[in-house]
Each structure stands twice: as C-alpha cells, then as structure tokens.
Amino acid sequence: MSYDKVEVPESGEPVTVAEEGEDGLEVPENPIIPIIHGDGIGQDVGPAAQKVLSKAAEATGREVNWMRLYAGESARQKYGEDVNLPDETVEAIREHRVAIKGPLTTPVGAGFRSLNVALRQTLDLYANVRPTYYLDGVPSPMKAPEEMDMVTFRENTEDVYAGIEWEQGTEEVEKVRNFVEEEMGFDETMHEGPIGLGLKPISEKGSKRLVREAIDYAIENDRDKVTLVHKGNIMKFTEGQFGDWGMEVADEEYPDDEVFAAPDSLWEEQDEVDIPEDAVMVEERLADAMLQWMQLRTDEFDVLAMPNLNGDYLSDAAGAQIGGLGIAPGANFGDNRCLAEPVHGSAPKRAGQDKANPSALILSGRLLFEYLGWDDTGQLIRDAVEQTISSGTVTYDLARQREDAEKVSTTEYAEAICDNIDDLA
C-alpha cells in the first residue's frame, strides 16, 4: 500500500503471516515496525523507548526499521484539526501486523471517542495483555512486592467499552428508556428524571477467544493457573455468562491432563479434589473479592482472564502493587497481530519536559519483541531496565521516593539503559 503522509523505511522488510499450513508470523531480522509516539509525555518517552529498543535489537544481531505513524495530537497537526485517527495509520498497522504506541489522550465526558479503544476494536485486537512483575529498586507500597508475577488478559472489544450509550435529555435515550420500561417490563428499575443509558454486550465469541488465549499462554509459559474474574453473582447473563463460557473452553477444548476445569467449591475444598500434576487449573473468582486476594494472597495467582471493565480495574490495581503504572507494560493481541502500549496515560502537564519515565513503553516493546520470537532481546531489555533502576539511576517519579537516587532526565535514563545493554550483551 502507498501512503500519503507516512514515510515507509527504504530498508527493512514487513512482518507477514506464515504460509498456509504453518502457524504464526514470518519475521525477518530487519523488520519494519510502525510506531506512534503518542500525546503528552509521548513526545518524550516515545523517542527514548525507540532508542532503547533499537539498541537491544542491534545487540542481539537484529535491526528495527521504524515507521512513524500519527494519532491524536500529532495526527491533527499532520492531517488537519478534525482528524484524530487517520485511515492510513490504521491500515499501516493492519498491513505490517505489529506496532507500538505511546499514550493517547481521551477527554473525559466529552470530545472524541477513545483512540485506544478505537484502535483495538478496528483491528480486532481482542486481548489486552499486561504482565505485572516487580523490578528490583522500584519503590512499592507493599511489604513483599516481589511476590507479584501475574499476567492479566482483558477482553478488549465489548462490555461497557463497546461505546453503546445514549446521552441524557436526547430523543434516543427516551426511546431506549421507554422500551426497557414498557416493552421489557423493567418499570421500577430506573429513577425518574434525566438519565444516561448504555448497553453491556458480552458475547460467547468474545469470551471464549479471550479465555482460550489466556489458557494457551499459561500452557506455553509454564504457568500453573488461570483465574476467570467476573461479577457473575449480580450480572448473571453478562459477566456470569463470561464465566460459564470460559469454563466451557477449559472443560471441552483441552485434554483433562493438560487443563483442569475446577468446580466452584475448589477454593474451599482444595484438598478433596484430584488435580493432574502438570495440568493448568482454571478457576473462577468474583471481581470484588479478587481485589483483596491480589493483595492478601498475591503469590497464589498467576494468569487472570476477565471482561473489559474488570480487566481495566484489576490490571491497574496489580500495577500499583509493584510501584505504579509508570513501569507497567501492556500489549493488545489479535489473530497474528500485536499493538504494544504502556498502561499509563498521557500526563499532558509533564509533556515536553524531558522528565517522564519511559520504562513502561520500553517494557511494552519487550512484549512486542517476544511476540516476534525475540526472547533473547526481550530478556536483555528487562535486565538492562532493572539494572538501571536498581543502581539508583532513575527519573523524577522514582527519585522522589528514594534517598539514594540519582535523578536523571528521560533522555539520560534511556542512555543509561543503552549503556547497560552494552554491558549485558
């Protein structure tokens, strides 16, 4: 495909889908990888992460050819004030299969729709995956943050994030209200006066493919347990159905000696259940209870799979336990497709000051590289970031919490990581 305002690198090859009969992607040693620096602090952390990721790839005998794309503020500057997500940005990611992006700003209560959600839905990136692990030297509010080693799988395309809403005071919301009250018989459910309404779709397709991804990940990465997290005791036909469909996947699609679908009573009567020795156990937990178990029994949980909203809450809560979202990586996966992105927001007040922490975006790049099969590059990135932080060379957000820290700029921090890559390679 030809592009209007996007420059395609002269060198490098695209990542492509493997030939028929083979699984996965065909990944060259010099791939073209699209990158969106992002809004706010994206202008600081984007170039810093790009530098570190290039260095790590080079240190392991590879070369990344970056393809700069635009979304949010950069798109409005490049394409016009009414363009937030250009078609060619979406098509470039679609064509090249993998990409990485910084944070994009979404106005609260007004303005345009979330660009992050739009990208996930348009590209059918149905699994938002966030590994949460502790890095030595990061200040944490927990007594034992090193016990956290959890991976959350968040359904990405439906639930309340589907964006099916009607604003109070509109003709549309009154039509929906009348239908719900008069046609469906819920005439005592809603308060009188202005009201906003929304739909919460949770489908069999969306639920099962998300749970399948989580179980496959657990099997491939020697994880012991997958926990389905929902609020099915209250929302029986949406969240409860998510749990039912997820347990069907575990029970019907995998051999019994590979995946064990736990009964509801397992967490109370574990000694009475015979679990195959090497099987991945799949269980269910209620979302509100899970928020406390994550803190009280952190080391008992491994992989979590959940609907969209629960996944947003619980992955952020997990990130807080290891020091905050400033170091929390993430990526969105679809069928032979990956868009890596940090968990944190755009923090516009800190934009352009060369002080923001790029660790989350760098570690999101690690996820992208591992998706490409570059596990050695990914491990090198983690080790170099951890060595930099543990030595006390950190950006302002961590420096203010440590007495022994050397506070450095975003640029200097990235350079320190690159130096450690040289030392470790």
Return the residue matching tokens 């090859």.
Answer: 13
The reply to whether 116 sits in an annotated binding site is: yes
- The Cα–Cα gap between 113 and 4 comes to 24
Q: DSSP H helical segments within 80-114, as ranges?
A: 87-96
Handedness of CA 82, 84, 85, 89 (dihedral sign): positive
The reply to whether 105 sits in an annotated binding site is: yes
- The pair phi, psi for residue 373, each rounded to 5°, is 90, 10
- The pair phi, psi for residue 99, each rounded to 5°, is -165, 170
- The Cα–Cα gap between 327 and 268 comes to 35
Helix (H) or strand (E) holding 407: strand 406-407
- The Cα–Cα gap between 263 and 209 comes to 21
The reply to whether 221 sits in an annotated binding site is: no
The reply to whether 207 sits in an annotated binding site is: no
- The Cα–Cα gap between 92 and 27 comes to 17
Identify which of 308, 164, 318, 156 has the alpha carbon closest to the alpha carbon of residue 239: 308
The reply to whether 62 sits in an annotated binding site is: no
The reply to whether 376 sits in an annotated binding site is: no
Q: Which residues are catalytic?
A: 161, 231, 288, 312
The reply to whether 120 sits in an annotated binding site is: yes
User: What is the CB neighbour count within 10 angstroms for residue 388?
Assistant: 25
β-bridge partners, 67: 34
Residues 6+ apart with CB under 8 A from 270: none
The reply to whether 177 sits in an annotated binding site is: no
Q: DSSP H helical segments within 20-157, as ranges?
A: 42-59, 73-79, 87-96, 115-122
The reply to whether 400 sits in an annotated binding site is: yes
- The Cα–Cα gap between 149 and 266 comes to 22
* Count of residues in the chain: 425
- The Cα–Cα gap between 178 and 168 comes to 13
- The Cα–Cα gap between 244 and 179 comes to 29
- Which amino acid would we find at residue 56? A
Identify which of 116, 111, 37 has the alpha carbon closest to the alpha carbon of residue 77: 37
Identify which of 194, 267, 266, 204 has the alpha carbon closest to the alpha carbon of residue 241: 204
User: What is the CB neighbour count within 10 angstroms for residue 332?
Assistant: 25
The reply to whether 65 sits in an annotated binding site is: no
Annotated binding site for D-threo-isocitrate: 114, 116, 120, 130, 154
Residue numbering of the annotated binding site for Mg(2+): 312
Q: Which residues are annotated as a binding site for NADP(+)?
A: 105, 357, 396, 400
Question: Residues comprising the binding site?
Answer: 105, 114, 116, 120, 130, 154, 312, 357, 396, 400
